[in-house]
Amino acid sequence: MTSKKRILMSVPHMGGQEETFVREAFSTNWLSTVGPNIDSFEAEFSKRLSLPERSAVALGSGTAAIHLGLRLLGVGPGDEVLAPTLTFVASVNPIGWLGGHATFIDSERTSWNIDPALLAEVLEARHRAGRLPRAVVVVHLYGQSADLDPIFSVCAHYGVPVLEDAAEALGTLYKGEPVGTRAPVSTFSFNGNKIITTTGGGMLVARDPEWVRKARFWSTQARNPGIAYEHTEVGYNYRMSNVLAGIGRGQLLVLSERVRRRREIAFTYRDALADIPALSLMPQAAFGLHTNWLSVFLVDEKSPIDRDRLIKVLDARNVESRPVWKPMHLQPLFQGAECVGGGVAADLFRRGICLPSSSNLTEGEQAYVISTIRSAFGKSP
Ligand SMILES: *Cc1c(COP(=O)(O)O)cnc(C)c1O
């Protein structure tokens, strides 16, 4: 029997304390973009990443955080920024808003993230040409850390700063250390489909307190001190609401449990599909703790059922699944942009499938997804 309720890929999962913080905002009338929930959410988020208390700025979206982060790194008209081709478009759109342009770099197979060897080649070539890029964007895809040691070592060698887009990787570790803490500026997302959510929102973290102050200033229209509405710099309306920060505080309390559950879901799929050689779980790089924010599988070249067919079969049985991100160098939007390599990302896009991964997915729902996939491959449930 087909499931009546559609099983979605990744949906919000409240922990229980969120409404307490939201109610507090209402009862104290802190219903704008200032208030105690914002201050506490920033402090608690910093603490969760083992950063000094005032390292974080709560914003309206992860995309806004990337925009401000790139501006902090000095990205401006004519600048080149290196970025992985395999990512969500929000990682790179803000480069263009600042007048810069992206050069895309292929993924490596170990983590699916930016290939450190290719990155080193590009930086070396740019150095020889006497025109280094302004910044490098590193993305931790689907909850898996990029290989940060070689990336940071080559970037430090050429003096090019890194922005870590950790939108998909809150809770992810690299060699025991939380991702989104090593770069001068990093960004997170609390969109409704992420591992924790504020319905929509984002966080910028920076190592330099002056940058934290600057990002907060820009996010609130860059209004100069004093009673007059005086402005010296361009600003934005990017601040998070105190109501939504209350949701974030509640969600942060259950983050560790969410990570545990997302991993459990991925490994349950892996074990239950182990006798289907055409399907393999995204690699789990030895250097990190992969949260498996999404359970992503690769469909083998010689599979009797290809990726698109599998998506259709699942859809017909009321299960949502999606292809891996379409690489930026294959996007009409970035036609003409340079891409170094691209074959690995194109292959992952063509064969990769994201399965339902919500932390509130029930055992019964997951069993239903598994049996749908198994019967598609002619296996007993
Ligand atoms: C979700 C996401 C973003 C954008 O975050 P929003 O909060 O939706 O603006 C940026 N980069 C990546 C890789 C993402 O997955």
Q: Which of 86, 87, 91, 239 to mutate to test the pocket of ligand 1 (most atoms within 8 A of CB)?
A: 91
Length of the chain: 381
Q: Which residue has the tokens 């109501």?
A: 243
Burial of 236 (0-12, 13-18, 19+ CB in 10 A): middle
pLDDT of residue 73: 98
* 57-87 tens-digit pLDDT: 999 999 999 999 999 999 999 999 999 999 9
CATH number of this structure's domain 18-252, picked from the four choices 3.40.640.10, 3.30.930.10, 3.20.20.140, 3.30.70.380: 3.40.640.10
Q: Note the pLDDT tens digit of each residue in 344-367.
A: 999 999 999 999 999 999 999 999
Nearest residue by C-alpha to atom 7 in ligand 1: 62
At the topology level, CATH places domain 255-376 in Aspartate Aminotransferase, domain 1 (3.90.1150)
Domain boundaries, the chain: 18-252, 255-376
* CA of 144 relative to ligand 1 center, distance in Å: 15
Residue whose structure tokens are 């809150």? 170
pLDDT of 1 reads 79
User: What atom of ligand 1 comes closest to residue 200's alpha carbon?
Assistant: 7
Residue ranges of the chain with per-residue pLDDT less than 50: none
- pLDDT, residue 291, reads 98
| pLDDT for residue 373 | 98
With a CB cutoff of 8 Å and minimum separation 6, the contacts of 354 are 9, 142, 294, 295, 296, 321, 322, 323, 324
Residues 195, 258: contact at Cβ < 8 Å?
A: yes
What's the pLDDT score for residue 87?
98
pLDDT digits (tens, 9 = 90+) for 249-275: 999 999 999 999 999 999 999 999 999
For ligand 1, atom 13, name the residue with the nearest CA.
Answer: 88
> Ligand 1 test: best mutation among 10, 59, 63, most atoms within 8 Å of CB?
63
pTM value is: 0.98
